[in-house]
Structures are given as structure tokens and as C-alpha cells.
Amino acid sequence: MSTLTFEDRYPCILETASSVGKKEGEGNLGQYFDNIYQDAYLGEKSWEKAESRLVKNTLQTLLDKTKLKPSDIDVVFGGDLLNQCIGSNYGLLDFNIPFFGLYGACSTFVEGLILASITVNGGHAKKAVAITSSHFCSSERQFRFPLEYGGQRTPTAQWTVTGSGAALVSTGGDIRITHATVGKIVDYGIKDVNNMGAAMAPAAIDTIVRHFKDRNLSSDYFDLVVTGDLGMVGRQIVEEQLFGYGIDVKDRYLDCGEQIFDGKRQDTHAGGSGCGCCASVFSGWLYKLLQNKKYKRILLTATGALMNPTTCFQGENIPGIAHAVAIERTDA
Amino acid sequence: MSTLTFEDRYPCILETASSVGKKEGEGNLGQYFDNIYQDAYLGEKSWEKAESRLVKNTLQTLLDKTKLKPSDIDVVFGGDLLNQCIGSNYGLLDFNIPFFGLYGACSTFVEGLILASITVNGGHAKKAVAITSSHFCSSERQFRFPLEYGGQRTPTAQWTVTGSGAALVSTGGDIRITHATVGKIVDYGIKDVNNMGAAMAPAAIDTIVRHFKDRNLSSDYFDLVVTGDLGMVGRQIVEEQLFGYGIDVKDRYLDCGEQIFDGKRQDTHAGGSGCGCCASVFSGWLYKLLQNKKYKRILLTATGALMNPTTCFQGENIPGIAHAVAIERTDA
């Protein structure tokens, strides 16, 4: 499968919504998010329920901003990092909208955008939503250590973003999803669960190189090449390796995980991560840069690490996957 | 979103492949599966790796039966029950095929068939594969008790199928996916983790009723109405409730979870379950009944329970979801 091209019935992103936690609100992009929650529990009794509440509130915000009812949405594509994707399942329950559950680790937001685009492009849905979430506290409990343990973090470790982002995909807008490159599972033998950036970088490189090659693009085609949550370590690998493939995007490449926090001030080490990182940074910030025409063409590449604690204990490698969409203003 | 109709570029199921474990091989449908493994480890060192091996071997069998290479497949839609879907991720790694990871619990096989159909119908893929798996031992460890504990099972408990099924979706065949109904998350307040059939039944009813209503079908339209893995308890609820909705399919309704094992002889209580149940029963048995024209129209409805052990400990309800595809011979 080469890079997909969407013609005729162009899928567009008509609106986005974003929600984040206190730390993200105090980060570099705090002014751009729709909802900032000071309480990590969002008024719920567990962190898992808090994450579901984050999903619920983000979709509700998207409906409010677009003056739509749940029944106006044909289908939702959603997922998160929690076991059996319970963040999305419980968060979306009350809306009663047809639902496709996805798991692509932190690549899920763009996976959802691609599948929403295919579905809208094919005329099977008029309005589709892609939504993902992550929560620092529920992720730490599930993937690493109980917060109460107070474990030390390595310099390459990333900080899971408490956040959620949602995008409404339909036809008839100016901000179009013109192309998509579907990720392959890529394994370069990384085993360090505290170095996700290095584990996911090869997948990002594979997908971005395929996107440029399939479309025969020059390095300066996009105003911005974005990766989801490689953080500082993975970002550097990708930048250097792309240059080796003849794609020189040093002056126009950024990573959502590196952008969301002020690493020095906020002690977030290699940067942000999680399904909610790319989703909230795109939905909160990057989409506005497309709206106000600061940028006209963005390649959004979300990256995921495909492991769980059991496989890490069993000594398995951590493969990665990356999905990419070209989002372009066509009124430029 | 009403029930989807696939026109023009009809998605068809050109071939299927199935693999199961020893117990499934000794069950009612043993003669129909492509691969039966006597060793629960499939020669691997852990049950998780065994499940990945099951996925890998099933996809390889599908390629062998169709004389295709991995590079001939445009995209794979896959998922399983393990945390972060590692069964599929590690199982599909070596094939290097673009991949969409899904999580719909035991509804994932039909979720994959629907998304493969949308993608093929839209011309974005020529050949797509839907594949899912489950493994009794990896599931018990993750969701219930360590096998070594030797816990008692309740009468309503189901037995997770060790199995995997894969279907090749493309154009140009006689066995077509003509319509699809996308599931909604449905919660009827069931909290008993040992009664998944009751938890999933309301979702199955919602989806099947919508399918019949949207298409304005009479009760005898399908030769067979199939649910994925409700087992004996859930099957009975669905049969009775559908009758209440004016859909009388008593003489043509079966459940894959009830079919795969001989409950009395094999002590499987309410029947089989798991992502691999519906997938292996359809791919191994039902597809052959369509091929030899014993049946011409089947409604395949896979059902999933959306929970994890943490949410059960936290006292949450267990919502369900069900996706359905109409598979019809159009040369009839």
C-alpha cells in the first residue's frame, strides 16, 4: 500500500477540541487548550475514571464548538493507552454514537484521522470524529510504578501527557487531509522501557520517508513536519536520519512531546508522551496555526511503542509504529 | 450512521484461514480448521509468544492458500485481547505490511471486516486482511487467575478459545460483504465478570435490530444469524429479545461460542469466548458453508465486553459492543 490520496470527496478537519491537566496548562502551549483541569481526578474517584471524563469532556467541547448533537456524528474512532482501551470505552459510552475502537499506542490519534478520512471519503459517514486520550497518573500506575513509590526517572524517560484531543472530519472545509501513509510495525531491537523515543524513531523515519518518496516531494514541501511524542531523544534521531535519506527538514521539524512542556522548568526529562500528547497539541495548537494561515501544509506523524509491561519483563523488544497524514490548506 | 451499504466496488471474502488449540480441535468443529496445535506453547517460551505465533501462522496459512506474498497485501486490520494488543503486534511484525491496530474486545474480527470493506470499497486497498486471536492461557493469566491456582469456574463462565482466524477482503468474488452495522457502546449495568454473555447480549440485540430495521428485512432474510461468543446464557437472551422486536430467528440463529465446544463432554460451561472464537469459527467453518452454497446469506455479529480487571475491581459496569456484517452470495 503506497501513500493514500484522497480525491473528489475531500476529508477536511472542520473543528478540533482539546483538554489537558494542570502541568500541561502551565507548559509552553497552555494558552491554546480549550479546557485545563487543575484537579488530576477531574472530580472522579479514580484516575481511570478521570481519563474517561477527559475523553467525555473533550468530545462534548467539540460538540459545543460546532453546535452539533451526538446524533449528528456518524461514527467515532477512538483509543487510549489503558488496558482494553477503557479510557475511550467509558468516556464515549453516554454519547450513543457508532464506535470503532483502535489501538496504536501513541500513534492512535493519526490512525483515527486516517480511518475517519477513508470513511468520509468513501461516503460512508458525513461526520466522523477521531479522539484519543492519556493520563499521567493512570499510565504510571499501569505501565511503570505506583506514584506513591516515588521512583526516580531516567534522563531519557518521558512524561505522559494528561490530555485529550478530538477532531471533526467531514467534507466542505479548507483544511484538508490530502494524503495518508499507514504505518508498518518496525523493530530495531530497543528494549529500554525508559527510552521510548529511540524505540519509536525508526517507525517515524520509515513512514516519513515513504510519504516523501511516494509523493515525490522535496524537503521544503511542508511548512512543518511534526512527530507525535518522540521527545528530545527520538526527535534528534529522526532529524539526523531523515537528512541521511535526503530529507532535510531541520528548519521545519518539531515534535509534540518536546513542545508541550518546558523541560527545564517542568522537569519532564525527554519530553511529553502518550495518546493525548499529539492529540492535544494538534487539536489545541497546530490546528489554530492552520486556521490562521501561519502554516499551510503540515505532515502530522504520530508514533506508538507497541509493548506492555509483561513483554518487557519477558525481555522482548519494543517495536514501534507511525501513521502520517498530510494536512493542507487548499485555498492557499 | 445507518447500516452501511457497499455498492460498485463490492468487498468480497476471497479466502480464510484458521488455527486453533488442542481443545478446540477436539470440539464440534475440529475437522474444519486449517491448523490444530497440540502444544499450548506452540514451541514458544511464553503463552503471550504462543498467541503471537498463532497470529503469525494463521496469516502465513492465508498467504499459502492464496499463493500471495506479504507484499501483495495492502493492509492488515488486527487485534486481540491482550494488554496493548501485543498478540497482534508481535505476530504481525515480520510481515512488514501496513497495519491498523484495533480494539473491540471479542467484536474485533467483524470490526476488522468492516474497516477492510470500507477501505477496499473506497479503492484505497486492493487486498486487505482482517485477523484476530485469543489464547486460553494468556487470557486467564491476564483477566482472571493464574492457571496454577486452579480456580473454580461459575456455570455462566466462558472458556476463552485458543484460536485465530483471518479473512482476505478484496474485490471480484462471489462471497460479498454487502452491508455493515457499526456497533454502539451499550451498558445494561452488568457487573459480573463471569457472565460476559449477559453483558454483551444487549449490544448484540441493538446492532441486529438496527441491521434488520435499516434494511427493512423480514425475519427469514438470512439463512443464518450468527453471534460471536455470547455462549449459552447470552444466546438465549438475544433469541428471546429479538423475538420481542419482531425478529423471529429461532430456527436460524447460532452462536460461535456455543458451537465450537461440546459443552457437556468438554466442561466448558457456558461456551467459548475470545477474539479467536468468532474469527476461527467463521474462517474455519461458516465460510466453507458459504463456499459450498449450503448457506447464501449470513449475518455475522461479533460481540465484545469492554472492561479490564481494574475497572471490575473498581466496581464499574461492563458495557458491550457488537459489530455486524451481512455476508451474501450474490451468484445465488
Chunk chain A into consecutive blocks of 10 residues (it has 332) and report each block's average pLDDT, rounded to whole numbers. Answer: 94 98 98 98 96 98 98 98 96 98 97 98 98 96 87 89 98 97 96 90 98 98 97 95 97 97 92 96 98 97 94 93 96 70
Question: Residues of A with CB below 8 A from B71's CB?
Answer: none
Residues A224 and A294 in one domain: yes
- What total number of domains does chain B contain? 2
Beta-carbon contacts of residue B170 (< 8 Å; ≥ 6 apart):
B11, B12, B14, B120, B126, B127, B128
Q: Is A155 on the interface with B (CB under 8 A)?
A: no
Q: Which amino acid is at B218?
A: S
Residues A207 and A318 in one domain: yes
Secondary structure class of B320 (helix, strand, coil): strand
pLDDT at residue A332 in the model: 59
CB within 8 Å of chain A, chain B residues 248-287: none
Question: Residues of A with CB below 8 A from B310's CB?
Answer: 48, 83, 86, 142
Chain B nearest C-alpha distance from A296 (Å) = 25
Secondary structure class of A121 (helix, strand, coil): helix
Mutate to test the interface with B, among A100, A313, A321 (most CBs of B within 10 A): A100
pLDDT at residue A152 in the model: 86
Cβ contact, residue pair B311, A103, below 8 Å:
no
Would you say residue B320 lies in a domain? yes
Chain B nearest C-alpha distance from A319 (Å) = 8
Query: Any idea what the CATH number is for the domain that residue B129 is in?
Result: 3.40.47.40
User: Would you say A203 and A321 are in contact if contact means Cβ atoms under 8 Å apart?
Assistant: yes
Residues A146 and A52 in one domain: yes
Would you say residue B195 lies in a domain? yes
Question: Residues of A with CB below 8 A from B119's CB?
Answer: 118
Would you say residue A2 lies in a domain? no
Q: Record the cell numbers describing residue A317, joined without a space.
A: 523488544
Cβ contact, residue pair B86, A310, below 8 Å:
yes
Residues B16 and B154 in one domain: yes
Residues A99 and A217 in one domain: no
Q: What are phi and psi of A119, to 5 degrees?
A: -70, -40
User: Would you say B205 and B319 are in contact if contact means Cβ atoms under 8 Å apart?
Assistant: no
Closest residue of chain A to B117, computed from CA coordinates: A119
Q: Percent helix, strand and coil across chain B, each rounded to 5? A: 40, 25, 35
CA-CA distance, A203 to A111, in Å (whole number)?
14
Residues B151 and B179 in one domain: no
DSSP symbol at A135:
-
CA-CA distance, A293 to A282, in Å (whole number)?
15
* Domain closes at, from A135, A170, A205: A170
Q: Record the cell numbers describing residue B332, joined without a space.
A: 445465488
A105, A111, A125: residue with CB nearest B84: A105
- Using CA atoms, how far residue B188 sits from A57, B198, B305, in Å, is 22, 9, 12
* Domain closes at, from B108, B138, B170: B170
B45, B90, B99: residue with CB nearest A183: B99
pLDDT at residue A194 in the model: 87
Residues A197 and A322 in one domain: yes
Question: Residues of A with CB below 8 A from B81's CB?
Answer: 84
**Radius of gyration of the CA atoms of chain B, in A:** 18
Closest to B240 measured CA to CA, from B231, B232, B250, B230 = B250
Closest residue of chain A to B112, computed from CA coordinates: A100
pLDDT at residue B152 in the model: 86
Question: Residues of A with CB below 8 A from B45's CB?
Answer: 314
Would you say residue B2 lies in a domain? no
Q: Is A184 on the interface with B (CB under 8 A)?
A: yes
Q: At what angle do helices A47-66 and A136-143 cross, to 10 degrees?
A: 140
Closest residue of chain A to B70, computed from CA coordinates: A1
CB within 8 Å of chain B, chain A residues 192-231: none
CA-CA distance, A85 to B323, in Å (whole number)?
17
Would you say residue B1 lies in a domain? no
Q: Is the ipTM reported for this complex over the cut 0.90?
A: yes
- Using CA atoms, how far residue B287 sits from A110, A321, B282, B292, in Å, is 33, 32, 6, 9
CB within 8 Å of chain A, chain B residues 124-143: 124-125, 142
Secondary structure class of B83 (helix, strand, coil): helix
Residues B85 and B223 in one domain: no
Q: Is A169 on the interface with B (CB under 8 A)?
A: no
Residues B162 and B195 in one domain: no
Secondary structure class of B140 (helix, strand, coil): helix
Mutate to test the interface with B, among A124, A133, A206 (most CBs of B within 10 A): A124
User: Would you say B166 and B16 are in contact if contact means Cβ atoms under 8 Å apart?
Assistant: yes
Would you say residue A22 lies in a domain? yes
Residues B21 and B120 in one domain: yes
Residue range(s) defining the domain that contains residue B141: 7-170
Q: Record the cell numbers describing residue A262, joined without a space.
A: 518546558
Chain A nearest C-alpha distance from B183 (Å) = 5
* Domain closes at, from A170, A189, A219: A170
Would you say residue A220 lies in a domain? yes
Size of interface A-B (CB pairs under 8 A): 157
Cβ contact, residue pair B74, A121, below 8 Å:
no
A93, A111, A115: residue with CB nearest B185: A93
CA-CA distance, A260 to A160, in Å (whole number)?
11
A74, A103, A314: residue with CB nearest B101: A103
Closest residue of chain B to A93, computed from CA coordinates: B185
Which helix (H) or strand (E) covers residue A49, if one does? helix A47-66
Asked whether the whole model's pTM tops 0.90, one would answer yes
Residues B27 and B120 in one domain: yes
User: Would you say A109 and A282 are in contact if contact means Cβ atoms under 8 Å apart?
Assistant: yes
B92, B111, B122: residue with CB nearest A100: B111
User: Would you say A180 and A114 are in contact if contact means Cβ atoms under 8 Å apart?
Assistant: yes
Residues A165 and A186 in one domain: no
Q: Is B79 on the interface with A (CB under 8 A)?
A: yes
Cβ contact, residue pair B86, A307, below 8 Å:
yes
Closest residue of chain A to B93, computed from CA coordinates: A185
Would you say residue A1 lies in a domain? no
Which residue has cell 521544503? A220
CB within 8 Å of chain A, chain B residues 46-75: 46, 48-49, 74-75
Closest residue of chain B to A314, computed from CA coordinates: B46
User: Would you say A204 and A127 are in contact if contact means Cβ atoms under 8 Å apart?
Assistant: no
Residues of chain B with pLDDT under 70: 332
